[in-house]
Amino acid sequence: QKEVEQDPGPLSVPEGAIVSLNCTYSNSAFQYFMWYRQYSRKGPELLMYTYSSGNKEDGRFTAQVDKSSKYISLFIRDSQPSDSATYLCAMSAGSGAGSYQLTFGKGTKLSVIP
């Protein structure tokens, strides 16, 4: 079993829909949780960054972390065709040896249909 599990999709939604993406993880040492967006043939771009449990909102994006369940989510409201990309969750321990290493999920490919 991989440390971070993420459903690869693909996920197809109509424009304006609410999108829910999620990851589960097994390493209880993870303290920092990130969502990256990766367009085709591009590098990952940081979207959201949260520390420990809780919610964080930035415009149309909301990130949630539930450390007790080892489950993180990204919600996209009023989805747009420009949101079509692969969304990668990533985590790091934040302290200790190798804590800077990001551990990624496989990524979920999202298509928003106009």
Please give the residue ranges that form the binding site for other proteins (CB under 8 A).
Answer: 4, 6, 8, 36, 41-46, 49, 88, 90, 94, 98-107
* Tokens standing for residue 49: 């960054």
Shortest distance in whole angstroms from residue 103 CB to other proteins: 8
Q: ω before 10 within 30° of 0 (cis)?
A: yes
Of 46 and 113, nearer to other proteins (C-beta) is 46
Shortest distance in whole angstroms from residue 114 CB to other proteins: 26
Q: Which long-range contacts (CB under 8 A, 24 or more apart) does 62-69 make?
A: 63/33, 63/35, 65/33, 67/28, 69/24
Give the residue from 11, 18, 55 showing the smallest Cα distance to 33. Answer: 55
Shortest distance in whole angstroms from residue 100 CB to other proteins: 5
Of 18 and 46, nearer to other proteins (C-beta) is 46
Of 2 and 77, nearer to other proteins (C-beta) is 2
